[in-house]
Amino acid sequence: MISSLHSFLYDYFSYNQCPISDDTQTNLTVQLTRELDEILMNRPFYWHYMDKTGQVGQPMSLQLNIGTEKMENKESIHFGSPRLQQIFHHITNNARYTLLYEQTNSQKNIALYPWLVSNIIVHYYGKQKKEALYSFGLHLINGTIRLNVMKELEGVRLEQMMSDYSYTISPLIRTTSGFNRLFQFLMNQLQQENTDWIVHAEKALNEELLLLEYFYQHNPDNQDLFNKEKDRITKRFKPRIEFEIINAGLIYLCSSTSEALSQTKKSLP
């Protein structure tokens, strides 16, 4: 999942016009804009002072390590880390849905085909929690589903304005139906995953509940407290999976890009 997280972060900072250097598979060095500095770096007094004194101010930079090994002078970012939660929160509140068009330089009429693109987090709850990030693209004409679409779109120039001589093809699949297809596809794929974590979670749940019952069996007057503890333990250990849409967009792509995406096998890594 390192590559998908790297692609997600690269696209996030690029979209917010932050210069990126030291771009490797596991590292990103990002020069923040003032807007993202205020959102991510928690320096309200600094910017308040800059504004009061009429100074421009200097946004900070982030040196991020996306790998599993800790590196000196680099901030580790991973699922569950506070920094990534900040970014998800910012996207959810400010940039959850977008409309983009592939840019063309043609002097002839070019058709653009609609794709529903979405970044979705899968939350696993049980004895241990974990998260996985997936990016999906759904062709809203023929129903093709493309995985890791954000990675494939890195070299495609996308803008909020359509190029001259371009025109859009109307979707045959409605957006609501598109999301339902993505969720159904994701659920079908997750059902094929190893389910040992579910067995371990249910075993831990039963052990905790037996221990709780043993502790309270001689304290019948504490039934309310027993019920609260039982609910807490059940919520903590009961295995379940939840989906969360981080962001999504309707992206119109030219026929060559669209066909290239459509030819990829539909299966999770």
Rounded Cα distance, 28 and 153, in Å: 19
Read off the pLDDT of residues 41-100 as tens digits, 9 standing for 90 and up. 989 899 999 999 999 899 999 999 887 677 778 898 888 788 988 888 888 777 678 889
**Residue 16: helix, strand or coil by DSSP?**
coil
In contact, 127 and 204? CB cutoff 8 Å: yes
- The predicted structure's pLDDT at residue 206: 93
Q: Are 244 and 121 in contact (CB under 8 A)?
A: yes
Q: What is the pLDDT of residue 95?
A: 64
Amino acid at 193: E
In angstroms, rounded to a whole number, what is the distance separating the alpha carbons of residues 258 and 114?
Answer: 9
Q: 37-54 pLDDT, tens per residue?
A: 999 998 989 999 999 999
Model confidence at 238: pLDDT above 60: yes
Cα dihedral sign for 217, 223, 225, 227? Answer: positive
Q: Which three-class secondary structure state does DSSP give residue 15?
A: helix
Average pLDDT, the chain: 87
pLDDT 10s digits, 186-195:
988 888 888 8
Residues 212/227, Cβ–Cβ less than 8 Å? no
Determine the Cα–Cα distance for residues 209 and 213; give it in Å rounded to an integer: 6
Residues 137 and 115: beta-carbon distance below 8 Å: yes
Question: What value, to the nearest 5°, has the Cα angle with vertex 157 and ends 153 and 160?
Answer: 105
Whole-number pLDDT of residue 5: 82
pTM exceeds 0.75: no
| Helices and strands (H and E) in the chain: how many | 9, 11
Q: How far apart are CA 115 and CA 117, in angstroms?
A: 6
Q: Which residues contact 87 (CB under 8 A, 6 or more apart)?
A: 9, 12, 40
Segment 106-142, tens digit of pLDDT: 888 899 999 999 989 898 998 888 888 888 999 999 9
